[in-house]
A and B are shown apart, each in its own frame.
Chain A
Amino acid sequence: MSTADTHLLSRKPPARRAMQWTFGLGAFAYFVYLLWLFDFERIFTGLPKLWVIVRLMIDWSLFAEWDHAELLRSMVETVAMAFLGTFLAVIMALPLGFLGARNIIPSAVFRFLTRRIFDGCRGLDQFIWALVFVRAVGLGPIAGILAIMVAETGILSKLFAEAIENIDTKQVDGVRSTGASRVAELRYGVLPQILPVLISQALYSVESNSREATILGLVGAGGIGLRLSERIQINAWDQVAYVIVLVLITVALIDSISRWLRLRLIGKQS
């Protein structure tokens, strides 16, 4: 076969090519329209200002005068918020997960309702929950804890319910065949199978929530975010950079602790 032939064979039909070109050009035009819509030319006026901020950020000459005690205290508070919120969420999500699993409660209507409740908790971001709870229980870490708890309960309940639906029924049948009660069936037949999923998810949630909790303070829900927003508002850019570095170190620390714990608790299976 000559090269001309292969070239002809590999060409797409003209109608399809025309469609692809139209689609591509349309997408590009829409992209340009979006750039225009959101005033992207402001980037060029903003960049010099951003450069000023970056220069201020890397100047740490006043390091000794910053309120280190307060910042570190808030940092610990953030981690405590994440831990408490996740802990409560795990406690809430375990029974909810059982209620939402098809093989535990076969009713389709009930399952639909519980699943929609999980979706409702999950669909709204932690940040929005934090704002709602700040109005309800006032400024401070409790609003943050409740926000983390509600959002995380939605996520974990769904995951637990799915884990419970995917278990091996043989183990449950074995326990049932000894004449065990329903509770014993769940305890010895179901729980050992979902425990690895549970632990690894809970650890992952603590990790991701301590990341998320750093921003909850921006709406007044306690933690390092509050300090960060204060410092942004008074343009103390050097301290802003310091707080960000603190956050990065803490998150990295929690990551490695949880990796170690996961390896220790559930071995190399996951």
Chain B
Amino acid sequence: MVPGVKTGLDQARDYPNHKFRYPTYKDGGRGLRHHEVGWRVILLIGRYDTLAGACRMTTTDPAWQSFEQRFGAARRARRTESTLILVILVLLFMVSAIWTDFSPEKILAGLPRIGEYFGKLFSIQPSQSAPPVAVLSWPHLFGGVKEPQSVAYWFYRINVYATLLWQTIQMALLATVLGYCAAFALSFPAARTLTANRAVVFVSRRSLEFMRTIPQVVLAFIFVWPFGIGPLAGILAIAIHTTGALGKLFSELNENADLRPVEGVRAAGGSWLAQMRYGVVPQMLPGFLSYGLLRFEINVRSSTIIGFVGAGGIGQELKRVIGFNIYEEISAICILILLIVVAIDLLSERVRHRLIGALV
């Protein structure tokens, strides 16, 4: 419609009770003018055409039909698959639950004992025979070392824990260094692009795989027999696992190395060792160091638990206090382990970012 021009139809809409529905125009004519009729007819035909086309498409157009069919089939298949997966998961869940005697009753039966832990943690015994009195309040909890069972009091053996934590970190450090060196040495023969001899590649890859698949706690448990109870067994176990894990990562890095520097060194008459030293190592050093630090984080975590089988560190102490039910010491050691793990994570993350920034 032409905007701004009042037509007969507009007048009829605005003044429905007007005596003459179709007023006269300037030229004296009456009724719908031809241009108004034309617009309406065109719109009507257009609408009908679209509607009819849509109907025709959905009902008769073969392309549309096959699309509908395929879409429906795909949706049905997807729904069936989802249901099937859900059913299998639930079945697996039930089978596993039956196999492991897992039931809500058993967990509920254990809950009072968890309550007992907190009960003992937050109560004091005035004398040997007297019943324990619950003491749980903010002023008491942060009452200081003198107040029995306050948070500070849990840490009354902090000097022992500090020594053990330091030992744990040193264990992780030594194991990481040893594993790093071994992985470094093994990663060059394990890289397919750098070593021509297939047998050497195969043997070094398989040995790395073997080293990282045996759980390190099991390895530590075995090592306690020949090497005696103490940190040495733990360090060796973690070092072997580190060798396997880092060796794989390093060899993958080596395989992605740019070979042009290697060819350059070879062209200058360098031996295989020189090719590795001057061709590959300078490219890969940031990656190696970054992975090494990441591994140090993981090893700190491992060395806190490796003591459970008698292989040194804070884990040995934790196992002892759990065995004797010394609740305040359990809490203290758990908090310390948590703090040290988080602290080392943050520290190593910062160092890694700086290192990558400085070397790349």
Which of these, A84, A119, A131, A251, contacts B97 with CB under 8 Å? A84
CB contact under 8 A between A218 and B308, given known A43-B232, A77-B99? yes
**What A residues does B101 contact at CB under 8 A?**
140-142
CB contact under 8 A between A123 and B173, given known A142-B101, A218-B308? no
- How many residues in B have their beta carbons less than 8 Å from beta carbons of A? 57
Q: Which of B140-148, B212-220, B288-296 contacts A (4 or more CB under 8 A)?
A: B212-220
In the assembled complex, the Cα of A137 lies from the Cα of B173 at a distance in Å of: 36
- How many residues in A have their beta carbons less than 8 Å from beta carbons of B? 59
**What B residues does A247 contact at CB under 8 A?**
215
CB contact under 8 A between A135 and B100, given known A49-B225, A128-B305? no
Which of these, B89, B100, B325, B337, contacts A145 with CB under 8 Å? B100
Query: Is A138 an interface position by the 8 A CB rule?
Result: yes
**What B residues does A42 contact at CB under 8 A?**
227-228, 232
In the assembled complex, the Cα of A87 lies from the Cα of B90 at a distance in Å of: 10
CB contact under 8 A between A120 and B338, given known A47-B226, A218-B308? yes
Query: Is B152 an interface position by the 8 A CB rule?
Result: no
Across the interface, do B322 and A40 meet the contact criterion of CB distance under 8 Å?
Answer: no
CB contact under 8 A between A84 and B334, given known A38-B232, A127-B305, A141-B102? no
Query: Is B171 an interface position by the 8 A CB rule?
Result: yes
Across the interface, do B226 and A125 meet the contact criterion of CB distance under 8 Å?
Answer: no
List the B residue with the shortest CB-CB distance to A143: B110
Across the interface, do B102 and A218 meet the contact criterion of CB distance under 8 Å?
Answer: no
Which of these, B102, B114, B302, contacts A84 with CB under 8 Å? B102
**What is the 8 Å Cβ interface bit string for chain A, positions 131-160, against chain B (1 contact, 0 not)?**
111011110111001100000000000000
Which of these, A46, A49, A80, A119, contacts B100 with CB under 8 Å? A80
**B38 to nearest A CB, angstroms?**
38
Which of these, A35, A49, A80, A124, contacts B95 with CB under 8 Å? A80
In the assembled complex, the Cα of A81 lies from the Cα of B114 at a distance in Å of: 21
Using a CB-CB cutoff of 8 Å, which residues 190-231 of chain B contact chain A?
213-215, 217-218, 221-223, 225-228, 230-231
In the assembled complex, the Cα of A42 lies from the Cα of B312 at a distance in Å of: 15
**What B residues does A35 contact at CB under 8 A?**
174
**What B residues does A76 contact at CB under 8 A?**
99
Given A141-B101, A146-B107, 14 extra CB contacts under 8 A: A31-B174, A34-B174, A42-B232, A46-B223, A46-B228, A80-B96, A81-B100, A87-B93, A119-B338, A123-B337, A128-B318, A128-B337, A141-B102, A142-B106
In the assembled complex, 27 residue pairs joining A and B whose CB atoms fall closer than 8 Å, in A order, are: A31-B174, A38-B230, A40-B232, A49-B227, A80-B96, A83-B93, A84-B93, A87-B89, A87-B93, A125-B301, A127-B308, A128-B318, A131-B308, A131-B319, A132-B330, A135-B117, A135-B322, A136-B117, A141-B100, A142-B106, A145-B100, A215-B217, A215-B218, A219-B319, A222-B100, A229-B221, A251-B213
